[in-house]
Structure 1
């Protein structure tokens, strides 16, 4: 990968000058660092490594718009785009649109961010292990839970609006903290900058740093761009289709329509009390019909739920009864139209369409929908993570290291590791097959099955399992093995399990006495019962077969 091009600051002239600058009280610790920023947009071009020999190109932009030693100007630092507000509104209303953007943000939240140094531009950055570079990075990313939350929010801004404003300040412990803010939250120019999080409205302090992070538009690099911008029309159409379907459903709930009946219809008496306060103003037939319809709704056990309402009328009036409804029939094409718009949203947002449509070959469902493939990590998550790293590098990390007098400060950068997102292939079945063929070690079988040495049985358990298998293969070993498997077992229990009764007293002339066998054991072979196990075998106390 190549490091971003930027303007170099003054380098110390000698080693002594470096040491003297590092010992200056205002620069001696990371906590006391007042970051000297470089105003102006900085464009970085990165080559992101992936699983193949090729690389994925990335262009990111960053600009310090507020902070110590930043030239104050009344000129607008960024331009709010109308499509950004529409994107936020559609995210609140369209679940599929929100899911596609948040999917990338959730992936970025699992990425590990760290301080690194570029020793060779052709190789990946090497994580720093000591010095101010490590202290700065650990102070910013030391809390894993906090880092996940802030990077997720930064990625959401980049996914739906194409830009985010990083407000960097120092906490009570002397560590620098990152707060990604949307362009609606931070406003101002010159020395008057305000932050409105929706509840609290406050002025930004002079020592707080604001770094604008954005994905440059291919046509105008100062303007933001993002995948959501291209699918806003699809999300808008999907919203209108949802409203259309919702209106059709609501029309069915607005009323039951009108029932036209001839005046001559007379209800049979004795079909239930009306329950109406003013019965004189209600037609008897209408009253009884309403009671028969309302009663089963209130009481499911009522006979009215099963028994039809009975009325008598002349035969020529039967076909005069009409029911008029005002409901709108459901559009049979609405489902297909919604699916097509969802598919286009998924393609435009760099998400697999089957994840949103639930048509994966593996049967994508609610629980597997968040699984992230290797292609998504390379094509969607890594570019967003690298954009965040670029803004933090040129806007905060390198200027801070330069002020601390770190040699080659421009070779340091914030970088990331996507290994936590890697899906571990399930090779347990192949490992078991090779193990059964004596072509794989037990250690490898454990590893591929997700276990380790702590899960291996000890010698006592192995011995006990072996005795159980021997007993299962030949029950005649019961007298020898059961006392070791089940300590203190009564001999009568063994007799009952094996069908062997107590042996009769031996006559003096008998040389080979044999135990008698109980009923049902006549077909057994006369296998000699071995002696009890040697006392060196120590059974597991309290174990059961």
Structure 2
């Protein structure tokens, strides 16, 4: 006998199977129980199905919950001993488990309902059944025609007792006449139900307490339809003075001849006119009668509308609200929420999952674990089956509409993988660059950000450089600029004291246009670095620094020395174009800016002049 049949055998001394564990929401139906449990529907369950088929608001709400459950994913995980978190998936600890153990743990899940696609429909039907009749049946058997294993989620109406001997009759989904009789020795029959609060063996559902609101809502809808179909309620009746001589109705023969009384026959024909043809003008014209004597103003119009008609809309809204409150779902789904927008809609959805969908999914997962998976694992020889469980994953439902900014920051910090980053952006693993493309991008980045490695990177990219004499470059350009926070080469002034200017700097200060150019170059470089720092800060931090000039952001956000080359990339393009050939001056300004960034000191013309003089770049003084 296959393991999937062995798993349902009761242990010695176990009244319920699965080692004597009593779960009030699931049970394996045995021979002794089949006649007392299967097919014993209650009256309210039949009424619940009737309301589900006729009340559109109810069907919409039940399907909302069912569609949400269908998007959950079942998985196998290790149970947390203290219960403080969900079971840890097997995939997350596969390295610590033997491949044989992983295969045995996942085998029942891979078989159940045909895999993940079938399990989605299984969860959907479970949700519908638990919300309407309050119970459902999971039937597993070998198809007698094909021999394939089948799993069916059946409503109580689809499973009946076939008499003695522990045999059941199951309605197959193929057609009305497709039925199969199964012996409990050759199949698995698991019953899941919402336990009644008073008698746990009885099923319960939200519809058990919503009979009156549903009847009221359906009655109001019927009244509206009857009013629409009634010519008297719509057009009314007009009365004119004279003998009662209505227009003679058209005489007809057949199974339903016109009434012998001409007045009654006229009324019947008038009321039936709107039913035969909605577009007929007679549906909008009032019925005309004549009465003896005088009528006030020779004509009177009588309406047959009731006071209920003017209150239909608020009454229906009140009934829908009662229904929405009673169902196991957020009332906003049926009633709507006026102040819902794309900023807070995800919060409502998250609460709906936690309070309405997850308890139902937990009931299903716990029932499957206790009545199907753990007995199956024991039959398959899995050590300590109680340490494992089937659970649900609702991450696809809880995901916020746009988590790209958070994903980008986490990816930059190395907290998530490339595949996870692509998933948050809406791309697949097929969109990832291959190794050759990654190598080319890395070489381009090195060539554009690191002057020392640029020649080698360009050569690796296949770019041939002209043979330029070594004398064209100075040591200041070839050698990297070493910056130290602790002991800078030129003493930086205190933050609140103006720097002392060297004597040679006075000549630079007198050269107004040149100093203005150098001052502008330094400010632009600091502004570029400030924008770089802000772009990598949180939204709240950017709000705090909104009043700070961008070239002073480095006084509040300290950069790392390793990031200086990236944040100053392209900062001196205009400056170098305006001062061609002055490589010593370029290196000195860049050194000055880097020292300001690392020490958090504000830029001042006098400080820049002193730094240039100390570096020997005071052209006027020279």
Alignment TM class, shorter chain as reference: 0.5 to 0.7
Residue in 2 that maps onto 1:144: 116
Q: Which of 388, 395, 403 is 2:364 aligned to?
A: 388
* Structure 1 contact 136–175 (Cα < 8 Å) conserved: no
Residue in 2 that maps onto 1:215: 194
Residue in 2 that maps onto 1:192: 167
* Structure 1 contact 354–360 (Cα < 8 Å) conserved: no
Residue in 2 that maps onto 1:89: 50
Matched position secondary structure for 1:224: coil
Deviation at 1:109, TM superposition (A): 0.6
* Structure 1 contact 392–414 (Cα < 8 Å) conserved: yes
Matched position secondary structure for 2:392: strand
* Structure 1 contact 159–228 (Cα < 8 Å) conserved: yes
Structure 2 CA distance for partners of 1:355 and 1:363, relative to 1, 3 Å: farther
Matched position secondary structure for 2:156: coil
Residue in 2 that maps onto 1:355: 333
Structure 2 CA distance for partners of 1:233 and 1:417, relative to 1, 3 Å: same
Once residues 60 and 360 of structure 1 are traced to their aligned partners in structure 2, the CA distance between those partners, rounded to angstroms, is: 40
Deviation at 1:341, TM superposition (A): 1.5
* Structure 1 contact 140–176 (Cα < 8 Å) conserved: no
Q: Does 1:113 align with 2:74?
A: yes
Deviation at 1:175, TM superposition (A): 7.5
Once residues 279 and 55 of structure 2 are traced to their aligned partners in structure 1, the CA distance between those partners, rounded to angstroms, is: 37
Deviation at 1:404, TM superposition (A): 2.1
Structure 2 CA distance for partners of 1:324 and 1:450, relative to 1, 3 Å: same
Q: Which of 112, 125, 128 is 2:87 aligned to?
A: 125
Once residues 99 and 389 of structure 1 are traced to their aligned partners in structure 2, the CA distance between those partners, rounded to angstroms, is: 25
* Structure 2 contact 8–371 (Cα < 8 Å) conserved: no
Residue in 1 that maps onto 2:523: none
Once residues 194 and 447 of structure 1 are traced to their aligned partners in structure 2, the CA distance between those partners, rounded to angstroms, is: 46
* Structure 1 contact 231–348 (Cα < 8 Å) conserved: yes
Structure 2 CA distance for partners of 1:144 and 1:235, relative to 1, 3 Å: same
Matched position secondary structure for 1:373: helix
* Structure 2 contact 24–200 (Cα < 8 Å) conserved: no
Deviation at 1:99, TM superposition (A): 1.8
Q: Does 1:161 align with 2:140?
A: no
Structure 2 CA distance for partners of 1:370 and 1:126, relative to 1, 3 Å: closer
* Structure 2 contact 362–391 (Cα < 8 Å) conserved: yes
Matched position secondary structure for 2:77: strand
Q: Which of 60, 64, 81 is 1:103 aligned to?
A: 64
Once residues 381 and 450 of structure 1 are traced to their aligned partners in structure 2, the CA distance between those partners, rounded to angstroms, is: 25
Trace 1:316-395 onto structure 2 (pairs within 5 A): 319-324=297-302, 326=304, 331-362=309-340, 373-395=349-371
Structure 2 CA distance for partners of 1:371 and 1:93, relative to 1, 3 Å: farther
Structure 2 CA distance for partners of 1:118 and 1:150, relative to 1, 3 Å: same
Once residues 86 and 299 of structure 1 are traced to their aligned partners in structure 2, the CA distance between those partners, rounded to angstroms, is: 38
Once residues 73 and 166 of structure 1 are traced to their aligned partners in structure 2, the CA distance between those partners, rounded to angstroms, is: 14
Structure 2 CA distance for partners of 1:96 and 1:350, relative to 1, 3 Å: same
Deviation at 1:182, TM superposition (A): 1.2
Structure 2 CA distance for partners of 1:395 and 1:455, relative to 1, 3 Å: closer
Matched position secondary structure for 1:213: strand
Matched position secondary structure for 1:169: strand
Once residues 363 and 203 of structure 1 are traced to their aligned partners in structure 2, the CA distance between those partners, rounded to angstroms, is: 53
* Structure 2 contact 138–151 (Cα < 8 Å) conserved: yes
Once residues 424 and 123 of structure 2 are traced to their aligned partners in structure 1, the CA distance between those partners, rounded to angstroms, is: 32
Residue in 2 that maps onto 1:61: 25
Once residues 114 and 122 of structure 2 are traced to their aligned partners in structure 1, the CA distance between those partners, rounded to angstroms, is: 13
Q: Does 1:231 align with 2:210?
A: yes
Matched position secondary structure for 1:216: coil
* Structure 1 contact 192–203 (Cα < 8 Å) conserved: yes
* Structure 1 contact 117–411 (Cα < 8 Å) conserved: yes
* Structure 2 contact 232–304 (Cα < 8 Å) conserved: no
Structure 2 CA distance for partners of 1:403 and 1:143, relative to 1, 3 Å: closer
Q: Which has the higher contact order (CA 8 A, sep 6+)?
A: 1
Residue in 1 that maps onto 2:152: 179
Instruction: Tell me the TM-score normalized by structure 2.
Output: 0.49
Structure 2 CA distance for partners of 1:339 and 1:41, relative to 1, 3 Å: farther
Trace 1:448-527 onto structure 2 (pairs within 5 A): none
Residue in 1 that maps onto 2:543: none
Deviation at 1:370, TM superposition (A): 11
Flag the structure with higher helix content: 2
Q: Which structure 2 residue ranges, 5 or more long, are not aligned?
A: 92-101, 244-249, 252-269, 271-277, 282-293, 410-417, 445-576, 578-622
Structure 2 CA distance for partners of 1:455 and 1:260, relative to 1, 3 Å: farther
Once residues 134 and 79 of structure 2 are traced to their aligned partners in structure 1, the CA distance between those partners, rounded to angstroms, is: 27
Structure 2 CA distance for partners of 1:207 and 1:446, relative to 1, 3 Å: closer
* Structure 1 contact 164–183 (Cα < 8 Å) conserved: yes
Once residues 157 and 392 of structure 1 are traced to their aligned partners in structure 2, the CA distance between those partners, rounded to angstroms, is: 16
Once residues 81 and 332 of structure 1 are traced to their aligned partners in structure 2, the CA distance between those partners, rounded to angstroms, is: 38
Structure 2 CA distance for partners of 1:449 and 1:356, relative to 1, 3 Å: same
Deviation at 1:222, TM superposition (A): 0.8
Structure 2 CA distance for partners of 1:142 and 1:79, relative to 1, 3 Å: closer
Instruction: Tell me the TM-score normalized by structure 1.
Output: 0.56
Once residues 63 and 431 of structure 1 are traced to their aligned partners in structure 2, the CA distance between those partners, rounded to angstroms, is: 44
Matched position secondary structure for 1:202: strand
Once residues 370 and 184 of structure 1 are traced to their aligned partners in structure 2, the CA distance between those partners, rounded to angstroms, is: 37
Residue in 2 that maps onto 1:281: none
Q: Does 1:411 align with 2:409?
A: no
Structure 2 CA distance for partners of 1:446 and 1:383, relative to 1, 3 Å: closer
Once residues 128 and 295 of structure 2 are traced to their aligned partners in structure 1, the CA distance between those partners, rounded to angstroms, is: 67
Deviation at 1:121, TM superposition (A): 4.3
Matched position secondary structure for 2:111: helix
> What root-mean-square deviation, in Å, do the aligned CA atoms of Structure 1 and Structure 2 show?
4.7
